[in-house]
């Protein structure tokens, strides 16, 4: 049996502008629908979570990555394989906590914000918060509870964009119903 | 050479899909009972295998066979389990079980936003694709003894 190899990362390349602009339209609409930025942030995170829950399956099917044995390996796969596959960028991994349960992803250029300038009245909006949800949702499906948030954002005048990831706990296997 | 049947379980033990081709003996219990029994056994084998292994394992539980049939097991890191029963002459089919996951389950269930991921799969398209894929396999034979 020869494995089909035509489903690699290269097969479905398309312009990221369509994605960026669609995302922009989504954020714009949410800002109209909700009164305050906190609610928009929450909705973006929630949508991202729902995407992540499904995206992880696509990722595992395409990359053939096995189970990660520690958080460092997880960080590597996220930065070097997953970000590359879906956003075409490779963030750098830095700022490990001494316990090895926290690290930062530094994004040189965030593809979601290519054409964006934050107006002054949206200072608390976390524009790319969808990404946090995606990361949290997909890691939850491989049994890792992780806290994800933006620590720095070029949209807010920081020099880089930084996503901070904190490992909370391993999610244990569920026993099937009715078994002990 | 023949394929008897196929189960797909999710990470919580729900049977997402079941289909059978050449199964001449039924379990004599309801299907729901059978799924639970099957999942319970797989769950136990998994933990048995990982506790009994004298070395660190990479893939864990892969298959078992009796005098009459062979059960093939494939689990993704996200906990989706693909289980196929065949006759004894079939070798390792890890690639094929991975294909079922990646080109059929992911393509026609995960990427279909209207398919819930935690309930039995209703999609006709998924069933049709799976059935034709299985029937195209070289070791599928409808008239196997």
Say if the Cβ atoms of B43 and A61 lie within 8 Å.
no
Residues in chain B: 145
Query: Hey, are the CB atoms on A66 and B77 less than 8 Å from each other?
Result: yes
Helical H segments across B20-70, by residue range: 31-52
pLDDT, position A9? 43
Q: Which two tokens stand for residue B31?
A: 């299907």
Q: Higher-confidence residue: A3 or B124?
A: B124
Q: What is the model's pTM?
A: 0.88
Helix (H, G, I), strand (E, B) or coil at B104: helix
Q: Which residues pair with B50 in a beta bridge?
A: none
Q: Say yes or no for a CB contact (<8 Å) between A58 and B95.
A: no
* Residue A22 in contact with partner chain B when CB distance is under 8 A: no
- Confirm or reject contact between B120 and chain A (CB < 8 A): no
> What is the band of B17 on the pLDDT scale with cuts at 50, 70, 90?
very high
Distances (CA, A) of B75 to A24, B82, B83: 37, 6, 9
**What pLDDT does A7 receive?**
44
Q: What pLDDT sits at residue A175?
A: 63
A53 contact B CB<8A: yes
Give the pLDDT confidence score for residue A5 in this predicted structure: 42
Chain B nearest CA to A66, separation (Å):
6
- What does residue A73 show for φ and ψ, rounded to 5 degrees? -65, -40
Is B64 in contact with B71 (CB distance < 8 Å)?
A: yes
For position A174, what pLDDT does the model report?
Answer: 67
Which one of A57, A65, A178 has the shortest CB-CB distance to B110? A57
Encode pLDDT of A137-146 as tens digits: 999 999 999 9
A6 in contact with chain B, both atoms CB, cutoff 8 A: no
Instruction: Bin B107: left if φ > 0, else alpha if -120 < ψ < 50, else beta.
Output: alpha
A67 touches chain B (CB under 8 A): yes
Check whether B77 has a pLDDT greater than 80. Answer: yes
Give the residue-averaged pLDDT of B78-102. Answer: 94
Point out the residues of chain A with pLDDT beneath 50: 1-11, 179-180
Backbone angles phi, psi at A157, to 5 degrees: 95, -5
Q: What is the pLDDT of residue B6?
A: 96
ipTM: 0.88
Interface membership of B51 toward A (CB under 8 Å) = no
* Res A6: pLDDT: 43
In this predicted structure, what is the pLDDT of residue A178?
A: 54
pLDDT tens profile B55-75: 988 888 999 999 999 999 999
Q: Does the pLDDT value for residue B28 go beyond 60?
A: yes
């Amino acid at each position: 049996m020869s494995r089909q190899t035509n489903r690699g990362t290269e097969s479905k390349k398309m312009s990221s502008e369509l994605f960026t602009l669609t995302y922009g339209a989504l954020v714009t609409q949410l800002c109209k629908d909700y009164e305050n930025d906190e609610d928009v942030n929450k909705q973006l995170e929630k949508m991202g979570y729902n995407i992540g829950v499904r995206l992880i399956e696509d990722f595992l099917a395409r990359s053939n990555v096995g189970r990660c044995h520690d958080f460092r390996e997880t960080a590597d796969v996220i930065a070097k394989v997953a970000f590359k596959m879906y956003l075409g960028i490779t963030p750098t991994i830095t700022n490990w906590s001494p316990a090895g349960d926290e690290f930062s992803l530094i994004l040189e250029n965030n593809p979601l914000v290519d054409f964006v300038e934050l107006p002054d009245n949206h200072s608390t909006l976390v524009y790319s918060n969808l990404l946090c949800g995606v990361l949290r949702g997909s890691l939850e499906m491989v049994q890792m509870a992780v806290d994800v948030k933006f620590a720095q954002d070029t949209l807010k005048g920081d020099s880089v964009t930084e996503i901070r990831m904190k490992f909370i706990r391993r999610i244990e296997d569920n026993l099937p119903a009715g078994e002990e | 050479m023949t394929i008897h049947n196929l189960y797909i379980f999710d990470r919580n033990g729900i049977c997402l899909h079941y289909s059978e081709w050449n199964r001449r003996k039924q379990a004599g219990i309801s299907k729901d009972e059978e799924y639970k029994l099957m999942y319970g056994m797989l769950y136990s084998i998994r933990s048995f295998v990982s506790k009994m292994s004298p070395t660190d394992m990479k893939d864990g539980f892969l298959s078992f066979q009796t005098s009459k049939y062979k059960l093939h097991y494939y689990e993704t890191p996200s906990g989706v389990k693909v289980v196929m029963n065949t006759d004894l002459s079939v070798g390792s089919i890890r690639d094929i079980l991975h294909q079922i996951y990646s080109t059929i389950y992911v393509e026609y269930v995960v990427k279909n936003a209207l398919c819930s991921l935690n309930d039995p799969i209703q999609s006709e398209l998924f069933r049709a694709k799976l059935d034709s894929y299985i029937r195209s396999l070289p070791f599928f034979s409808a008239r196997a003894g």
